[in-house]
Each structure stands twice: as C-alpha cells, then as structure tokens.
Amino acid sequence: MNMIHFQLHDFHGGIHPDENKLQSTQQEIRKANIPKELILPIAQHIGKKAKPIVNVGDSVLKGQVIAEADGFVSANLHAPTSGTIKAIEERVIAHPSGMGDLCIIIETDGKDTWIEHKGLDNPLETDRDTLIDIIQQSGITGLGGASFPTHVKTCVPEERIDTLILNAAECEPYITADDMLMRSYADGLVKGIELLFHLYQPEKCLIGIEDNKPEAIEALQKALDATTDDTHKIHVVTIPTKYPSGGEKQLIQILTGKEVPANGLPADIGVACQNVGTAYAIYEAIYLGKPLIKRITTVTGEAANNKANFETLLGTPVHHLLEQGETDFDKVHRLIMGGPMMGFTLQTDEVPVVKSTNCIIASTANELPDPAMEQPCIRCGMCTEACPAQLLPQQLYWFSKSSNLEQAEQHNIADCIECGACAYVCPSNIPLVQYYRHTKGEIKQAQADKIKSDRAKERFEARLARQEREKAEKEAKRKARAEAAAKKQAEKAAAAPKGDSPAATTNDTAAELEKLQKKLEASKAAIAKSKEKLEAAKAEGSDKVEAFEKALTKSQDKMKDLAKQIAELKKAQKSQGAASSTGADKGDPNSPERLKQKLETAKVRLATAEKRLAEAQADTEQADKVDALKIALDKQKERVLEAEANYESGLEKQPASTQIKDTAPAADRDALEKKVLAAQTRVDKAQERLNMAIEQNLDTVDALRTGLEKQQAKLEEARKALEETPA
C-alpha cells in the first residue's frame, strides 16, 4: 500500500537533541535470560495498587494472576514465569526518589511453564465488551510511559471518537524499543491496531511515525498491505523528527491540527491515542491469550558493550538486564531508567523492570556528565520558546521556588508534560523539571489533604447535628416522663383519702421484708451451688479451688447481712404494730410513730448502703461502682439525719400530756441524745455554709448567719432538756 500524505501541523517550541538511536538498532531483538528472582511491584500503573492473592510458598505458573486489580482504574499483575512465591515485602522500586513499595518476589524454577491459555478464533467478530474484559484481565497498561490502564481508555463511547492515533514517534533520544518492535513484529502489531479500530469504530486511524525510522515505516506498510481489511482507513503518516513530537497532545496537534484543552482529554476533541507497544500487547492478549508479562526494553549507553533491545520479563532486576548487555559496571557513571530527557537516575541496579520501562542507559562520565551548578535565572526567555505546551516555564519556576501553589495551578502547571525541553535550553542550568515535579506533588498532596479535611469536617458537623438531635429527643422524653409522673401523682393524691394510715407504712415495711426474704432464699441457693462446685473442684484437684472458696465466703457474708437486715426490719415492723395498736394519731403522717418508723427504715437502708460500698471496695471487679455507691451512701446518711430531725421535731410538737404518756425516762433520754446530735450536725453544717459564703463574699451571708443562730438556739434548748432528764 502506498503511504498517504496528510497535511501536517506543527506545535509550539520543541528541540533537536542528539538522537543516539543507531547504537541499539544494529541487531535483532534478543530474548533476555530468566533471572533467578523476579521482583514485581504491585503498583506498576496509574490508579489503585493491585491486591496480592498469593501467599509465600505458593507455586505459580507463567501467566497466572498473582495480584488482582483493586477497582476500575487499576490493573492485574501476572507471574512472568513459573516458580515459587519467595516473599511479599517492601523493596526499592523504579522511582525518582528511590522509594520502596510492596513487591511480590518470585523464585524462578527455570521451567517457564505456562498456565493453560487460549486466544480467540475470530476476535474481529467478537463483541466490544468481551474484548475490553480480556484487555482488563490481561493487565495491559500504556507502554509508552504513563502506564494508564488500557481498558479504561477503551471504554470511551464509540460515537465520541472519530480519529484513532497510534503513537509510533518514539522521539526521545537513545530509546528504540518501539522502532525495533515495528521492524520485527509488524504483522502482530497491525492485528492489534485492527482490534483497536474495532473497539473505537473511528472514521480513520493514523499511525504517526518520525521520518528517522525508515525500516519501521516500510515494515508497517508491508504488513498493512498483507493483512488489514481496512486499508482505506488505516494510514501510516510520516512526521518530521522533532522532540517531543511523541507527546500525546503534540502528536494529536501534528496529525489533526486540534489542541487538547487545558485539563482536558483527547476524547474531548474526538481523538483516542494508543502506543504501538500497547497495540501489540492487545494482539497477544486477544489472539494468543497471553497477559502482559514482558516488554521490549532498550539497553544502551557507552558502558554497555552489547547495545540492543531485549524481550524482558517484568520484574527482571536491572542488574541482570545490564549483564545481558555485557555492561562494564566499572565505567557506569549514571544509570538512567527511561530516556535522558524524561527518565530518572537509579540509585541502585537492583530495582526491577516494570511495565513502563522502555530503556536502561548505562552512561559513562563523558557521555552524560553530572549537571552543572545551578545559576540564577537571567530571564532570557529561551525556556518559553522551547515549551511545547505553550506554558510560561520562567513564571512556573518562580512560583515553584516560592511554593506559591495557587499561582502555579492558575498558570496550568498540570499541563506540563515534563519533557525537559526548557531545562535543555536553559543557559543557567536550572533543573526546571525537578522544580515542576516537586510542585505538582505538593499540589496533589494539598488537594488530598483538603479532601480529607472536608470529609472530616462533614463527619464532625454530622456528629454535632446527631448529638443535638439526640439531646433534643432525650429532653423531650424527659419532659414527657415528668409530665406523666406529675399527672399520675396528682391522680393518686386526688384518689387517696386525706392522711396516710399507719397500715400504709406497715405495708411498705412488709413489702421490703418480703423482698429481703426472697434475696435471702436466693443467697442460700447460691451458697449451696458454691459448695457443690467447691467439693467437685477439690475432688478433681482443680486450680480453681481458691476462687470457689472466695465465692463461697462472699455468698455467706451476703447471707449474714441479709439476715441482719431482716431482723432489723422485723423489729421495726413490731414497733409499727405497737404504735398502730395504740390508735394514736392514725391519720397523721407527721406523728412521732410514723416518723420513728421512717427513721428505722432509713437506718436499715443506710446499713445496706454501707455493706454494698464495703463489698465494692473489696472486689476489684466492682471498682467502677465505688464512686456511685459513695454518693448513694452520703445521700442515705442525709436521709437518716433528716428522718432523725423530723422525728425530734415531731416529739417537740406533741402535747405535753402525750409526751409524758409516750416516753419513759430511758426512752426520753435516748431521744434527747439523738436530738442533741442532730442539732449539733445542723449547727456544724450551717457554720460551714456561712464560712464559705464569707470567703466568697456572697449576698447570702446575713441570711446564713441568722439561720446559724436559730440552729444554735435549738442546740442549747436540746442540751438543757437532756440535762434536765434523769439518767
């Protein structure tokens, strides 16, 4: 087929560095030997890392999935050869920073045994979704450098794409991987292009290739003439040699005259762009059933004595590949992965070859000397003239140096393709690309931090709203309960006769007594069970004997305490019966008899509270209850004092004849002693409150002082009464 001549366009800027491609194209593609160990990073693509699905010690076959894609923008990872999973650990990976990442280490067995695999018989008659699924399962990513998952790029709706572009420019110096691929595997490559044409259904397909690759151009033309059914739609287009014509946006502009908008995608202007290496990987996946486990990598540089392109298994250590190129390691000054313009220096040759590794340069000191010392910018503007993205490199440099991320974003630093043209022409030797990469990383981190902060803010605000809502609901429920309780109390008060009968108090005491009796029975049952467990443990020689003995002792102490409480309640019940039999003040809730009954009940409850506190303090498992029990005990003490005071007050209010009749001299003296004690307690508390008010200069000082004087008068009155009472 004759090559079609299209009207070509030019892009702004660009440079013409020394090509240095001839050295690695003097021999056919060679197959690199299988290394003893393969190092496979789980992140060899843009997007989320793959998730390992194998374990250390597992045997794997060539082509077997060892890590699954984690989401849509991710890619599977396959075993490049058969062997055993030696480790899953962090290793140094191919990265400008020399950072490490999680890698799957395969100890190869040398057998290179394939897993069962088979391609499609009629791929061009297969539906689009099936083909995209095969591409996804095969772990294919862009082999031109970006390593973007290919299945994502092929999911563009058919009607959006009118032009399919195959990037065969390979404009960067030293790299010849795509050139040799087109020369050696043109037939398979054309079949891969046909598959892409079938997936996108464009109006035309353009294979853009620089005019410095005549052998590759001829091979492609012959393959197209021999195999394709769409010769009138697939065209080889030769473009002038200029760096960086292989950039995606630049190649699109050269072939179509269209410009991809800032922060936009080629699909926005109806174009899809794929690398020729990616097209060949698609051919192998669909026609042969082989996943992406190898790639062609150029080994070049003056320190490499056998410069060539090698078909290399992914995960092959760079050191092993350099040995295939007969590298003189003593002469290696800088080891570069990628090209001299967009590549980066490796800190070690133990890093692995990954899906995007298209070249390894073993350079000498004369070939690629260390960068000269950076000098101040002289504002010559040469960087602006060279920039193919029509940016303002000088301004971006100032913004990057001052960490002015906002201005850098506004000046479209994201559109920088990091081609290095600006740094190449800079007379001040400023490493501009390094500044831009750092700033891009800072912007990306700032955006991630903002997203994280916004999410945290949303969660915090949602939590506050939920707490406010719950608080309002609780308050509404509390008010409803209070209103219901008040209503119920009012109904009881309206229904009950005036004045409580002594029988009501007697019933309360009886109910309390019945409750304690039930607890006593339960305690006896618990003691019986504890004894059975203890005897069984002793018979078995168990190490739990001591624990069972402690439990038994605790249950026995509890039973004794319950028995004591029952005895006191029975005594109080008898007093209530005697009082009710006299018939005195039966309807008066403030009669001395009723008040005395309340005092006895309060004392019983005080004893119970003291017992519970003592048990909690002795038992470490109940340590969290101690504070609550102390508060309850203090409240109960206050109730006892209040009951005593009420009882004494009731005695004072009785008629003299009743006091004489109801109190024997001994009982009188006991009551008066308690009255003196209660009066003294009230005086002490009143004095304490007065002192506190004086210290804090409160307005209640006068009122508290008057109250103290009244309490002191009552105390004196009680003491006199006690002195006058015979012993």
d(CA 312, CA 292): 11
Torsions phi, psi of 364, nearest 5?
Answer: -90, 175
| Contact status, residue 397 vs residue 377, Cβ threshold 8 Å | yes
Return the structure tokens found at 45.
């693509």
Counting DSSP H helices and E strands in the chain, the numbers are 20, 17
d(CA 151, CA 134): 9
The helix (H) or strand (E) run that includes residue 135 is helix 128-137
Handedness of CA 635, 640, 645, 646 (dihedral sign): positive
419 is in an annotated binding site: yes
422 is in an annotated binding site: yes
Return the structure tokens found at 571.
């005594």
d(CA 515, CA 519): 6
d(CA 606, CA 598): 12
205 is in an annotated binding site: no
What's the chain's length in residues? 727
d(CA 235, CA 692): 100
Return the structure tokens found at 403.
């960490």
426 is in an annotated binding site: yes
Determine the residue type at 91.
R
| Contact status, residue 367 vs residue 174, Cβ threshold 8 Å | no
Is 92 strand, coil or helix? strand
The helix (H) or strand (E) run that includes residue 600 is helix 592-618
Torsions phi, psi of 628, nearest 5?
Answer: -65, -40
| Contact status, residue 18 vs residue 361, Cβ threshold 8 Å | no
Torsions phi, psi of 313, nearest 5?
Answer: -70, 140
**What is the bridge-based pairing of β-strands 294-300 and 271-275?**
unpaired
CB proximity list for 445: less than 8 A, separation 6 or greater:
none
CA distances from residue 443 to 89, 101, 408, 412, 415 in whole angstroms, order as listed: 30, 22, 9, 12, 13
Query: What are the beta bridge partners of residue 87?
Result: 105
Distance of CA 61 to the CA centre of its chain: 34
103 is in an annotated binding site: no
d(CA 51, CA 94): 19
Return the structure tokens found at 286.
């669909």
**Residues making up the binding site for [4Fe-4S] cluster:** 377, 380, 383, 387, 416, 419, 422, 426
Q: Provide the annotated binding site.
A: 377, 380, 383, 387, 416, 419, 422, 426
